[in-house]
Amino acid sequence: MLDWSDRHCRYFHRLLTRHALLYTEMVTTGALIHGDVARHLRYNAEEHPLALQLGGSEPADLALCAKLGQEWGYDEINLNCGCPSERVQRGAFGACLMAEPQLVADCVKAMCDAVQVPVTVKHRIGIDRNEDYGFVRDFVGTVAQAGCRVFIVHARNAWLQGLSPKENRDIPPLRYEMAYRLKAEFPALTIVVNGGITTSEQVAGHLAQVDGVMLGRAAYHQPWWLSDWDAAFYGDAANTLTREGVEEEMVRYMAREAAAHGTPWSNVARHMLGLRHGLPGARHWRQVWSDHRLKALPAHEVLALAHAKVS
| Residue 93: band (very low, low, confident or very high) from pLDDT cuts 50, 70, 90 | low
Give yes or no: 9 in active site: no
User: Last residue of a domain, which of 208, 233, 258?
Assistant: 233
The answer to whether residue 41 scores a pLDDT higher than 80 is: yes
Q: Which helix (H) or strand (E) holds 308?
A: helix 299-310
Kindly state whether residue 264 falls inside one of the protein's structural domains.
yes
- Same domain? For 192 and 272 the reply is no
Domain count, the chain: 2
Q: Which of 192-196, 235-239, 305-309 has the highest mean pLDDT?
A: 192-196
User: Last residue of a domain, which of 170, 202, 233?
Assistant: 233
- Same domain? For 81 and 200 the reply is yes
Coil, helix or strand at residue 124: strand
CATH number at residue 266: 1.20.120
Write the CA distances from 177 to 91, 131, 153, 196, 215, integer angstroms: 31, 12, 11, 14, 18
- Same domain? For 165 and 275 the reply is no
User: Last residue of a domain, which of 191, 215, 233?
Assistant: 233
User: Span 160-185, mean pLDDT?
Assistant: 86
CA distance linking residue 156 with residue 179, whole number of Å: 10
pTM of the complete model: 0.93
- Same domain? For 144 and 47 the reply is yes
In the predicted model, what is the mean pLDDT of the chain? 93
- Same domain? For 151 and 262 the reply is no
Domain carrying residue 114: 7-233
CA distance linking residue 299 with residue 98, whole number of Å: 45
- Same domain? For 178 and 268 the reply is no
User: Span 57-79, mean pLDDT?
Assistant: 97
Name the active-site residue from 65, 83, 96, 107.
83
